Amino acid sequence: MKVLLGIGGSPDSFRALSTGLERARAAGDELTVAILENPESDVDPAEVEARVRDELKASAVDASVRRLSGDPGGALIKLAEAEHFDAIALGGGQESPMGKIRLGSIAEFVILNSSVTVILLR
Amino acid sequence: MTADDRFPDTPAAPFPTPPETFIDGADREVTIAGYGDGPPADRETEFERLVEMYTTFDPEDRAQGIPPGREDRVRDWLEHLLIEDAVNLIAWIDASAAGHATLVPDVEEAYELAIFVHQDYQHAGIGKELIRCLLGEGARRGVERVWLTVERWNEVAISLYHAVGFETTNAESFEIEMGLRLDPSAD
């Protein structure tokens, strides 16, 4: 499966990267990691990309890395549709102090607006 | 959005404090008490009664992933909630936990609220008394700012929150965020 994994620097997006890499190795997915500009994240895209490349190296999964600028949800959907990805994968949300799961704004937008299947990784 | 936009300027009217005993809409005697102060002999028993309440909880009434779906996760989750800094009240009917309401501190010294009433005891007014007592106990313990999130289709919960004074502060996401200010000096 051709999977586009979006990562904007939030803790759940880094968890999704680890899970996505494990899955890619087990299932033989063709993985592309898209670095997004997440306005809600404190980690800037260059730092996100450096961490992504470190993880890729450590996991020995052969994935390509792309930097997307502009509105993160829109850019992700545009790329997924234009290049015929089978699925977009994203982090499955952060937990509140109570333990309630709250989806990030990128995930909310992508779920509602993507014509490509969306996978939330937990 | 600034931190203050998340809470109304004016405190809500005072609330009752636990313990409280009342007859619910189905003629059952309900006692609302703080965790550790209920009818069971000790905290360990109360903990086990809460585990029973949540492991038999209908998945249909889960909200944003809680209560969790497996007993080991229910236990972990309850241990995370039943801490000294949080406010926890339980509604008891005989020796069974019928409902549980909690205020958990966040990193900004505000408190996140959640309330659950078991399916066997819903539609009898227990939730309303439980949340009123929770807010009363919160104010008594110095809590000033309370917030919660609720799925926008959960009309029963939203009307309960409105009824006790919560105001909607953010409706841009899948969940609505609501806030309430307490007056800790009120008794």
pLDDT, tens only, B92-113: 999 999 999 999 999 999 999 9
Task: Tell me whether residues B104 and A97 touch, CB distance under 8 A.
Answer: yes
> What's the confidence (pLDDT) of residue B174?
84
> What's the confidence (pLDDT) of residue B187?
55
pLDDT digits (tens, 9 = 90+) for A77-112: 999 999 999 999 999 999 999 999 989 889 999 999
Mutate which: B174, B176, B178, vs A, most A CBs within 10 A: B174
Task: Tell me whether residues B64 and A105 touch, CB distance under 8 A.
Answer: no
Is residue A6 within 8 A of residue A13, CB to CB? The reply is yes
Mean pLDDT of chain B: 94
**Closest Cα in chain B to A102:** B64
> What's the confidence (pLDDT) of residue B2?
55
Q: The tokens 């104010």 sit on which residue?
A: B139
Q: Positive or negative, the Cα torsion across A13, A5, A71, A69? A: positive
Closest partner residue to A108 (CB to CB) among B65, B102, B173 is B173
Q: Which residues contact A32 (CB under 8 A, 6 or more apart)?
A: A2, A3, A4, A5, A63, A64, A65, A66, A85
Look up the CATH number of the domain holding residue B66. 3.40.630.30
Q: Tally A–B CB contacts below 8 A.
A: 41
Angle between helices A105-113 and A72-82 (to 10 degrees): 40
* Distance (Å, whole) CA A13 – CA A94: 9
Closest partner residue to A102 (CB to CB) among B77, B80, B149 is B149
Answer whether 0.95 is exceeded by the pTM.
no
Please give, rounded to a whole number of angstroms, the shortest distance from the CA of B150 to a CA of chain A: 10
Confidence of residue B186 (pLDDT cuts 50, 70, 90): low
What residue numbers bound the domain in which B110 lies?
3-186
Q: The tokens 């549980």 sit on which residue?
A: B100
* Mean pLDDT for the stretch of residues B160-182: 94
Task: Tell me whether residues A102 and B114 touch, CB distance under 8 A.
Answer: no
Q: Which residues of A touch B175 (CB under 8 A)?
A: 102
What residue numbers bound the domain in which A77 lies?
2-121
Q: Is residue B1 over pLDDT 80?
A: no
Confidence of residue B48 (pLDDT cuts 50, 70, 90): very high
Confidence of residue B63 (pLDDT cuts 50, 70, 90): confident
Q: Is residue B163 over pLDDT 80?
A: yes
pLDDT digits (tens, 9 = 90+) for B6-15: 999 999 999 9
* Distance (Å, whole) CA A107 – CA A116: 13
Q: Which residues of B touch A97 (CB under 8 A)?
A: 104-107, 112
> What's the confidence (pLDDT) of residue A49?
96
Look up the CATH number of the domain holding residue A42. 3.40.50.620
ipTM (interface pTM): 0.80
> 3-state DSSP call for residue B130?
helix
> What's the confidence (pLDDT) of residue A122?
85
Q: Is residue A40 over pLDDT 90?
A: no
- How many domains does chain A divide into? 1
Task: Tell me whether residues B149 and A97 touch, CB distance under 8 A.
Answer: no
Q: In chain B, what's the furthest Cα-to-Cα distance?
A: 47
- How many domains does chain B divide into? 1
Please give, rounded to a whole number of angstroms, the shortest distance from the CA of B106 to a CA of chain A: 6
Closest partner residue to B112 (CB to CB) among A97, A103, A105 is A97
Q: Is residue A17 over pLDDT 80?
A: yes
Task: Tell me whether residues B81 and A101 touch, CB distance under 8 A.
Answer: no
B61 touches chain A (CB under 8 A): no
Q: Which of A7-11, B77-81, B182-186 has the lowest mean pLDDT?
A: B182-186
Closest partner residue to A96 (CB to CB) among B68, B102, B112 is B112
- Reference B133, options B7, B37, B8, B26; nearest CA is B37
